[in-house]
Amino acid sequence: MLVKLTEVCGTGAVTSGRKYSLREVFVNPERVVMILEDHRTKSLNESGLLAEGLDKNHRFSRLVMDGNSDVIVVGSPAMIEETLQRSGKQLLRG
C-alpha cells in the first residue's frame, strides 16, 4: 500500500537561484530504510526561500529509500514514521 506525502522539490541550479515547490508523492513504506530530520530545508523555510504559504515552524524529513534514492518531505521524523506505520495492516491475535 502506498502512502501520500508532500515532497519538497528543487528546480534550477544553485548558482542561478534555486526555486522550490511542493508536490504530492506516493511512497511504499516497505522501501523506506531511514528517516532523518532535514535541518537544511527547515532553514530554507525559515528564510522564506521555500514555497509560499508554508508556516515557518514546519519540520522536514529526508526519507532514504532502499536503492539509495532519497526524498525530502514535509513533517517531522516522528510524524512521518507514524503515517507510514498507519498504512500497514496489523493482524490481531487473540
Residues 6+ apart with CB under 8 A from 3: 26, 27, 28, 29, 83, 84, 87
d(CA 44, CA 63): 18
Q: Look at residue 15 in the predicted model and tell me its pLDDT.
A: 52
Confidence (pLDDT) at 88: 64
User: Quick check: 17 pLDDT over 90?
Assistant: no
Range 3-87 has CATH code 2.30.29? yes
- Listed residue (34, 26, 84) closest to 63, CA to CA: 34
pLDDT, one tens digit per residue, over 37-94 is 999 999 999 988 887 778 999 999 999 999 889 999 999 999 999 999 887 655 455 4
Measured between alpha carbons, how far apart are the two ends of the chain, in Å? 25
Count CA atoms within 13 Å of residue 39 on its CB side. 0
Domain residue spans of the chain: 3-87
